[in-house]
Structure 1
Amino acid sequence: MAATTTLSIVCPAYQEEDVLPLFHAALAAALEPLAAEYALEILYVDDGSRDRTLEVIRGLAAADPRVRYVSLSRNFGHQAALTAGLDHASGDAVVSLDSDLQHPPALIPTLVARWRAGNDVVLTIRADDVRLSWFKRFSSRLFYKILARFTDLDVRPSASDFRLLSRTALDGLLRLPEAHRYLRGMVQWLGFRVAEVPFSPEARRAGTSKYTLRRMVRFALDGLLSFSPAPVRLAVGAGLAVTALSWAVTSAVALASLSFADSHLALVLVALTGGHTVAAGALLAIGVLGEYAVRIYEQVKGRPVYVLKESTAVVQNPALALPARTRTARAA
Structure 2
Amino acid sequence: MKLYSFQVRTPVGTFTRVGALLGSKLVDLNMAYARMLADRNEAQPYRLADAAVPSTMLELLEGGPSAMAAARQALDYASRLGDQASGPEGEAIAYLPANVRIIAPLPNPPSLRDFIAFEEHIAATSRKRGQPIPPEWYKAPVYYKGNHRTIIGPDEDLPWPLQTTKLDYELELACVIGRRGRDVSEREAADYIAGYTIMNDFSARDIQFQEMACRLGPAKGKDFATAIGPCLVTPDEIPDLNALTMIARVNGEVWSRGRFGTIHWTFPQMIAHVSRGETIYPGDLFGSGTVGGGCGLELDRFLNPGDVVELEIQPIGVLRTRIVKQPERENPS
Please give the TM-score of this superposition, normalised by the length of structure 1: 0.23
Which has the larger share of helix?
A: 1
Higher-Rg structure is 1
Which has the larger share of strand?
A: 2
Please give the TM-score of this superposition, normalised by the length of structure 2: 0.23
